[in-house]
Amino acid sequence: MDYLGFLFAANAFVWGGIIYYVFTLKQRNRALEKDLELLKETLSREG
Amino acid sequence: MMSSDAVEENEEESSILVWMTGLAFLAAIIAIFIYVPTERTEGVVQRIMYFHIPSAWLSFFAFFVVFICSILFLWKKEREWDIYAHASAEIGVIFCSLVLITGPIWARPIWGAWWVWDARLTSTLILWIIYVAYLMLRAQSEAGSMRARYAAVLGIVGFLDIPLIHFSVLWWRAFHPQPKVISSEGIGKGMEIGMLATLGISLCAFTLLYFLLMGVRVRQEKLKDEIDRLKRETLYSS
């Protein structure tokens, strides 16, 4: 039996899933950093 | 807020973990695609097992952490435990989804069907639905102790499905193969040594990945809390 296509598909989903999740974590990090920067600016403006 | 020393120490720890996880995955890929022999009856498609079982292990472990942290949250009422439970549930759902995707891909050439309403498959799908509901509950309701309490109860109840998943193939007639790693013959007795070693490496890599992702998610939640607190303070002071 040779089902290389199935093995490839399963691998693609696993790696795709992990990479997608890591990417969303990076995006969330960037959003939080942006939020923090804005907050710091507001605080420094208000003294 | 965390001191700069603590932040530096945290960053150093996570960079070590990144390297360890990367190396473990490299070793797992080499073992899966080069070292391990091809299984005689199922052929090359059986190699899906080395991703499928570790994904299942990781999701069950993540939901176990949700279970423990939810109990601790209900008992101690400390936000810290709620953060851990939330982060772990999210990771658990991701990997449970991968189990539900790789399982049918493996089943199609072996069973001739993508999906059967077998006890193990159905109970795993129920587990996934419970924890998706857990995340939806957290996303849809307002932040506060009530939301955390409802989520904790759901996190505890959801975990009770996991023993059912494990024993389902022993209690009922099922399509899904019986456990080979932890079987009645003993741990790892139902597998060839090369396969067992490869599975062990893959399990190690996925476990390290769990701790890496947990670290990032927990730090994010804590930072979000800190930002919300500062925003509230700014609002009240102005």
Q: How confident is the model at residue B6 (pLDDT cuts 50, 70, 90)?
A: low
pLDDT digits (tens, 9 = 90+) for B48-72: 999 999 999 999 999 999 999 999 9
**Rounded distance between C-alpha atoms, residue B147 and residue B155, angstroms:** 12
List phi, psi (to 5°) of B43. Answer: 75, -155
Structure tokens at B54: 């570790």
pLDDT digits (tens, 9 = 90+) for B120-162: 999 999 999 999 999 999 988 777 778 889 999 999 999 999 9
- Residue B173's SS3 state is coil
| pTM, entire model | 0.90
- Name which of B41, B47, B55 is nearest A7 (Cβ-Cβ): B47
- Residue B27's SS3 state is helix
Task: Give the closest-approach CA distance of B48 to chain A in angstroms.
Answer: 6
Please spell the DSSP secondary structure of B180-205, one letter per residue: SSEETTEETTTS-HHHHHHHHHHHHH
- Name which of B51, B216, B220 is nearest A11 (Cβ-Cβ): B51
Q: Do A14 and B44 touch (CB under 8 A)?
A: no
Residues of B in CB contact (< 8 Å) with A are 41-45, 47-48, 51-52, 55, 94, 97-98, 101-102, 105-106, 108-109, 209, 213, 216-217, 220, 223-224, 227, 230-231, 234, 237-238
Provide ipTM, 2 decimals: 0.89
Domain ranges of chain B: 15-233
**Rounded distance between C-alpha atoms, residue B225 and residue B235, angstroms:** 15
User: For A46, which residue in chain B has the nearest alpha carbon?
Assistant: B238
Read off the pLDDT of each residue in A25-42 and give the average, rounded to a whole number: 90
Closest CA to B127 of B158, B94, B152: B158
Residue B32: per-residue pLDDT: 94
